[in-house]
Each structure stands twice: as structure tokens, then as C-alpha cells.
Structure 1
Amino acid sequence: MTTEADTSAPATPAADGAPPASAVPTAPEGGNILGDQPGAAAPPTDVSSPEATQPGTETKASDTPGVPEKYEFTPPEGFAVDPEALNGYEGLAKDAGLTQEQFAKVTEYGLKYFHDQLGKQAEAQDLRVGNWMKETLADGEIADGKTLRPEAREAAGRVMERFGGDDLRKALVETGAGNHPAIVKAFISIGKAMGVASPPDTGNPVPQNAKGNGLDDIAARMYGNGA
């Protein structure tokens, strides 16, 4: 029985042990099934292609399917967003390939998370300052359990007026330091050391005839002739 000869040419092995050209699978027409799926690895780039090395062919974040050119975000009620900080965050979101929906969910979660953490820190600070006040008012030497004793309040107020005034008082209130036992006691001690408020002693006038450089002359210029 006569059989027809196979006229197809046998696959010729490529150099260096590479598989024959006919053995390399080709993608079906209409796209790559796996490559078109979200999260699938991109098909390898043919480095021998001129387009692979041609400048300006890199894929931009905005060219990624689902990534918008500009993200839109409306903060939840009671929240404020710094536009400059949000712009920097948008760049990171584009690099990560976030869609508009993903961006909105992640951003809202982040805002609420940090708001919650800041709230907890504020509560902890309020508790800390309250404990400072209780400890200060429990000190019988300077307080009666409810408020500072009159002489202690007067001494602390003397320091306040002399060295800081309203700005110092405001800083002590905003930071809570005005309730700290060590701060309160320091103000009272300084005020007591200052004594009753009085005009500063300007000393005696320098004698006009004290022009020598001896110790007595220097003392006379500094302290007057009675030195």
C-alpha cells in the first residue's frame, strides 16, 4: 500500500538548545486570556523589538485600566483634608494602581483611623492633666484640696506678671503644664524668693571723679563711695 509522504518540514531546533519555533505557544487571537485578568502578570516584552528600547514607551499610571487621571474624594462629615497632602497621596495611589473606588475606601479608612488615634491621645492628655491638678491640690502646704492658698496664688501670680504675663499664662493653660505639681511649686518658690513687688534698686550713681583703675576705684564706680 502506498502512503503519501509527509511534506511538512520537520521542526528545526534553534541554536543553543532553544525549543523549535513550532513548539512555542502563541496567544489566541483577540488578546491574552490570563494577561487580561485583573492582577495577572503582564506578558514578557520582546527585548529585541525596537519599541522595547524606544524612549517614551513606558506605561504611565494613568494608562493602567481603572486608574483615573484625577481622583475624586469627598471627606466624611466633620473631617478636613489638606489638599497639598492629598495630592502627594494621589501620586502613590496611582503608582499602586488603585481605582477610584479603592482610593476612596482606603482614604476614608485612613482618615477615620488617624482621627480615632488623635482622639485617644487627647483623652489620655486630659486624664494626665487632671491627675496633675488633683496631686497639686492635695498638697496641704500650697492648697486646701480645692484651690491654692492665697499666699501661694499671690506668689505664683507675681512670677507670671513679672516674666511672662498673658502669653505665659496661655501657654501653661494650653499645654496643661500649669497644673503640674513641679511647675506650680517652682512658681510659688520663685515668687516667694522675689518678695513683695517693688521697684528695682538701681543703685547709687557713679561718682564723676572716680576715674582710676585701682580696685578701690572700680569698687567705687560699681558700688559708690561707701563700698
Structure 2
Amino acid sequence: MTEEMIFDLQRFADDNGDSDAADPASDAGGAGGDAGGTDKTPPEDAGGTILGGDGKDANPAGVPDAYDFKSIVPEGMDYDEQSAAAFGEVAKKAGLSQEQASTIAAYGMQYMQQGVDAAMQAVQETQAAWAEEARTQLGGQFDTTVAKAAAARDALAAKIPGLTAMLNETGAGNRVEMIRLMAAFGDLIGEDGGDRNGVAGAEKSIYPNTDFKKYSS
């Protein structure tokens, strides 16, 4: 057997022991594993997401610093600066543009206006029902009773400013109870308005059979 075919254990051991140090490919591979990096895990404090950025944009595109809702206020409705500012803060936190916030605000105002209109309609219907009830209860005495009530109302309105406006605003002027009450005053003070300085307008006493002159000093 020739020398080239001899299997030398010692030489195999020596070669194996030096292979790691002598093999540049192995060293390069190891360095490549560290330098090239196979661990794709991002740092813990990367901030935000890959596409979302850091999430620190305090004023996103399209969100105004302040909102203006004056142009969408329905006719006849007052513009409330405080309420507008409060809604503006909510809109800004939601990231709404001026157009988006105005659309929502306009819908809210329209809905509120519809509620107001419905309430006013209900009030008017109630007052009309009171007037119809008064006509029914007073019957043939309606015109006479209302005339006495109107005279008393005018006399009292001269002493109580705003009385007539109150009767109209509240609708109390249509209540049969108020009409009868005023008519009773009309009987006491006279249909001429109760002018105490005139003979014809002298106030009628509720004690017609009593002569109070006897008790005057």
C-alpha cells in the first residue's frame, strides 16, 4: 500500500483543529451573518407604524386652527359664539375639516330648528283650541263678555305696562277663565275704562248699597 493511501488519524485531527481558523470562507460567512443581519425585528422605540409615521402631527392636513359656522346659521337663528367654539373643539379632536364640521353643524341646526318649529306649532294649536273652547262655553254671550274683558284689559294695561303683550305671548288671552276674569273687572270699573277723574267713568263700587261718605272724617 502506498503512502498516499495511509489513513493518518493524527493528521486528520490536526487538520480539523485548524479548519476554523484557517478557513477564510467560514470566517467571512460568520461575519456576514452578523454584518448582513438576519434579525429584522425593529427597535422597541421605533415610534408609530411603518406607514403611519410617528403620530405626532398636531395639526393634520385639512383641520383648521379655528372653525367658522356663521355662514350656515339658518335665518332667524342667533349665532352662539360659545356653542360654536365648543363644537369646534370637538371637531378638531375628531380631525374634521371645515367642510365636514360645517356639514354636521348644519344638520344639527336644521334638526334643532325643526324641533323649535314643531314646538311653536303645538303652542299655536293649543291657543287656537283655547279660543274655540271659550266660544263654545260663552255661547251667545261671547261678544258681550269679550267686550267687557277688553275694556278691563285696556284699563289695567294703562297701569300695568306689558299686560297686553303677556296675554298675547302666553296665549292666556284666549283662555275662557281669563276672559271671564277680565269681564268681571269690566263690570266693576265700567266699560269706559274706569277713568276715576270723570263722572261717566267713575268706578262702580262692589258695595253699591253702602254710603262710605258716612265713614269719612
Q: Compute the TM-score of the two structures, normalised by the length of structure 1.
A: 0.57
Given the superposition, is the C-alpha separation of residues 30 and 95 from structure 1 closer, same or farther in structure 2, using an over 3 Å criterion?
A: closer
Select 1:75's aligned residue among 68, 72, 77.
72
Write the deviation string for residues 167-219 of structure 1: whole angstroms up to 9, x where unpaired: 32222123221112222222223333445636268xxxxxxxxxxxxxxxxxx
1:35 has 2:52 as partner: yes
Query: Matched residues in 2 for 1:70 and 1:90: separation?
Result: 7
- The gaps in structure 1 that reach 5 residues or longer are 10-21, 44-58, 202-221
Query: Matched residues in 2 for 1:171 and 1:153: separation?
Result: 17
SS of the equivalent of 1:112 reads helix
Decide which structure has greater helix share: 2
- The gaps in structure 2 that reach 5 residues or longer are 1-15, 21-25, 197-201, 204-213
1:25 has 2:30 as partner: no
Given the superposition, is the C-alpha separation of residues 79 and 189 from structure 1 closer, same or farther in structure 2, using an over 3 Å criterion?
A: closer
2:142 is matched with 148
Tell me, yes or no, if the aligned pair for 2:148 and 2:186 is still in contact at 8 Å: yes
Larger radius of gyration: 2
User: 1:87, CA displacement in angstroms?
Assistant: 3.5
1:161 is matched with 154
1:224 is matched with 216
Query: Matched residues in 1 for 2:173 and 2:91: separation?
Result: 44
User: 1:127, CA displacement in angstroms?
Assistant: 0.8
Aligned sequence identity (%): 23
Backbone CA RMSD of aligned residues? 4.0
Given the superposition, is the C-alpha separation of residues 30 and 161 from structure 1 closer, same or farther in structure 2, using an over 3 Å criterion?
A: closer
Tell me, yes or no, if the aligned pair for 1:75 and 1:81 is still in contact at 8 Å: no
Structure with more contact order per residue of length (Cα contacts < 8 Å, sep ≥ 6): 2
SS of the equivalent of 1:138 reads helix
1:108 is matched with 106
Aligned residues: 167
2:126 is matched with 128
